[in-house]
Amino acid sequence: MSSVARVTTITARSETSFEDAIRTGIERASATLRNVEGAWVKEQKVDVDNGTVRTWHVTLEVTFVLDD
C-alpha cells in the first residue's frame, strides 16, 4: 500500500520561546489537518524591544498524509 503526503506552510508565535511557538503551531495544525506526521522548522525569528526578546516566531513546513 502506498500513500501520498502533502506539505503546508504555517507560522506560529509565542511570548515564551521557540519551543513553545513550535508546539503551538503543531497543535493548531493537528486540530485542522488529519494525519500530521512531522514538521520542518524552516525559519526562526524574534521581535526585540529595547534589547529584550518579546516574541518568538517560527515558520513550519508541516507534512500530513492524505486520506485514501
Residues 59 and 8 sit within 8 Å (Cβ to Cβ): no
- The CATH number covering residue 12 comes to 3.30.1660.10
**What percent of the chain has pLDDT above 90?**
93
* H-helix segments, 1-68: 18-32
Summarised one tens digit per residue, pLDDT across range 11-39 is 999 999 999 999 999 999 999 999 999 99
pLDDT at 20: 98
- Statement: the pTM of the whole predicted model exceeds 0.85: yes
State yes or no: pLDDT of 64 exceeds 90: yes
Q: Which domain holds residue 47?
A: 5-65
Total domains present in the chain: 1
Residues paired with residue 13 on neighbouring β-strands, in sequence order: 57
Q: Is 36 exposed, middle or buried (0-12, 13-18, 19+ CB in 10 A)?
A: middle
The pLDDT assigned to 68 comes to 77
Grid coordinates belonging to 65: 498524509
